Structure 1
Amino acid sequence: MSHLLAGLDIGGSKVLAVAVDITGPDGRARVVESVRLSTGLGPEGVVDTAARALRALAAQLSGDAEARPDDWFSGVGIGIPGLVDAENGKITHAVNLGVGPGGLALADRLGRRLNLPVVVENDVNAAALGAAAHLRLGRVDMAYLSIGTGIAAGIVLDGELRRGPHSAAGEIGHIPVDPTGPLCGCGQRGCLESVASGSAIAARWTSREGSDLPPGQDLFAAAEAGDPTATSLRDEVAGYLAAATRLLALTVDVDLVVLGGGVAEVGEPLRHAVANALEAQATGSEFLRGLDLSARLSVVPRDQPVAAIGAALLARTPPGSSIPEPETVLQPDLTA
Structure 2
Amino acid sequence: MDRKVCDVVTGVTAPPSGGAVTPGTAVIALDVGGTAIKGAVEAANGLIDTRLQVPTPVADGVEAVVAAIVATIEALRAAASPQLTVVGVGIIFPGVVDREAGVARYSANIGWRDLPIRSLVSDLVGLPVAIDHDVRAAGLAEARLGAARGVDEALFVSMGTGVAAAVVTGGAVVSGAGGMAGEFGHLPVMPDGDRCGCGLRGCVEAYASAASLARRYMAAAGAGLLRAEDVITLAGSGDVVARKVFDDAVVALARALVSYVFIMDPSLIVIGGGMAAAGPVLTEPVAIEMKASMLWRDAPPLVTSALDGDAGRRGAALVAWSALDKQA
Distance 1:140 1:90 in 2: 29
2:109 pairs with 1:96: yes
Does residue 1:17 correspond to 2:39, yes or no?
A: yes
For the Cα contact (< 8 Å) 2:31–2:316, is it kept in 1? Answer: yes
Distance 1:256 1:32 in 2: 31
Provide the rounded CA distance (Å) in 2 between the counterparts of 1:61 and 1:48: 20
Q: CA shift at 1:302, angstroms?
A: 6.5
Q: Secondary structure at the match of 1:146?
A: strand
Return closer, same or farther for 1:119/1:302 CA change in 2, 3 Å cut-off.
closer
- Matched residue, 1:330: none
* Offset, 1:251: 2.0
- Provide the rounded CA distance (Å) in 1 between the counterparts of 2:303 and 2:313: 19
Alignment of 1:199-218 (within 5 A): 199-206=211-218, 215-218=227-230
The equivalent of 1:124 in structure 2 is 135
TM-score by length of 1: 0.80
Shift of 1:77: 0.9
Q: In the alignment, which of 29, 36, 41 is matched to residue 7 of structure 1? A: 29
User: Is 1:243 the counterpart of 2:248 in the alignment?
Assistant: no
1:304 deviates by 4.5
Aligned to 2:4: none
Letter in 2 for 1:130: A
Other-structure match for 2:120: 109
* CA–CA distance in structure 2, aligned partners of residues 277 and 32 of structure 1: 43
Residue 223 of structure 1 aligns to which amino acid in structure 2?
A: A
**What residue number does 2:316 align with?**
311
Shift of 1:262: 2.1
Amino acid at match of 2:39: A
What's the offset of the Cα at 1:320?
A: 11
Aligned pairs for 1:1-336 within 5 A: 2-23=24-45, 29-41=46-58, 42-62=61-81, 72-100=85-113, 103-135=114-146, 137-138=149-150, 140-206=152-218, 215-282=227-294, 285=295, 287=296, 290=297, 292-293=298-299, 295-301=300-306, 303-318=308-323
Q: Which amino acid aligns with 2:304?
A: V
Residues 276-311 of structure 1 deviation map (CA, whole Å, 9 limit, x = unaligned): 2222334xx2x2xx2x21x42111146441011101
Deviation of 1:134 after TM superposition, in Å, equals 2.4
Q: Mind listing any 5+ residue stretches in structure 2 that lack a counterpart?
A: 1-21, 219-224
Secondary structure, aligned partner of 2:166? strand
Show structure 1 runs of 5+ residues with no match: 24-28, 64-70, 207-212, 322-336
Q: Which runs of 4+ in 1 moved over 4 A?
A: none
Aligned partner of residue 115 in structure 2, secondary structure = coil
Relative to structure 1, the CA distance from residue 30 to residue 303 in structure 2 (aligned partners, 3 Å threshold; closer, same or farther) is farther
Separation of aligned partners in 1, 2:55 and 2:200: 32
TM-score by length of 2: 0.82
**Secondary structure of 1:318 counterpart:** helix
Q: Secondary structure at the match of 1:205?
A: helix
SS at match of 2:322: coil
Equivalent position amino acid for 2:170 in 1: D
| Fraction of identical pairs, as percent | 33
Q: How many residues align?
A: 295
**Aligned residues of 2:273 and 2:309 also touching (Cα < 8 A):** no
Task: Compare the two structures and name the one with the higher strand fraction.
Answer: 2
